[in-house]
Amino acid sequence: MGLRDSILNATDIPTETVHVPEWDCDVEVRGMSLAARETISEIAQDSVAAKEKTGKSDPVWNAAVVVATAYDPETGGPLFTDADRAALNGKSAKAVMRLSEAGARLSGMTEDESVEAGKDSPSTPAEGSSSS
């Protein structure tokens, strides 16, 4: 097997189990693929553009990260869909932020990278943030 095949066949998406005491459960959080991360960046840019246009904030960043990175540890399937973003925005900020920070950290998304993507928010996880 050559280097190209080794790279393309590598299992390189990190995972961790995050306990969410507010929901009394464990959630498997996975890092994003490049495609998912690009989608999240587009969501952030669209949110900033909408805020500039309407003057109203669209709180989608953290819920979108949770949708992209939260999995059921028993089935391995995604926990949420895009249709759940609004409902997640109504849940405990501490619980959602815990999952969002873990997902962003596992995806290599630092505050500097998020600012570059057009997302300048104190809720964006900083490098080295904790998931517990």
* pLDDT tens digits along 52-97: 888 776 678 899 999 999 999 999 999 999 999 999 999 999 999 9
Identify the DSSP state of 18: E
Q: CATH for 13-116?
A: 3.30.2220.20
Distance (Å, whole) CA 72 – CA 54? 37
Q: pLDDT tens for residues 10-58?
A: 999 999 999 999 999 999 999 999 999 999 888 888 888 877 888 776 6
Distance (Å, whole) CA 119 – CA 53? 15
pTM for this model (two decimals)? 0.76
* Residue 45 confidence (pLDDT): 85
Domain ranges of the chain: 13-116
> Is the separation of the CB atoms in 92 and 63 below 8 Å?
no
Q: Where are the alpha helices (DSSP H) in the chain?
A: 3-9, 34-54, 61-69, 85-89, 93-106, 111-116
- Identify any residues that bridge with 27 across adjacent strands, giving them in sequence order: 18
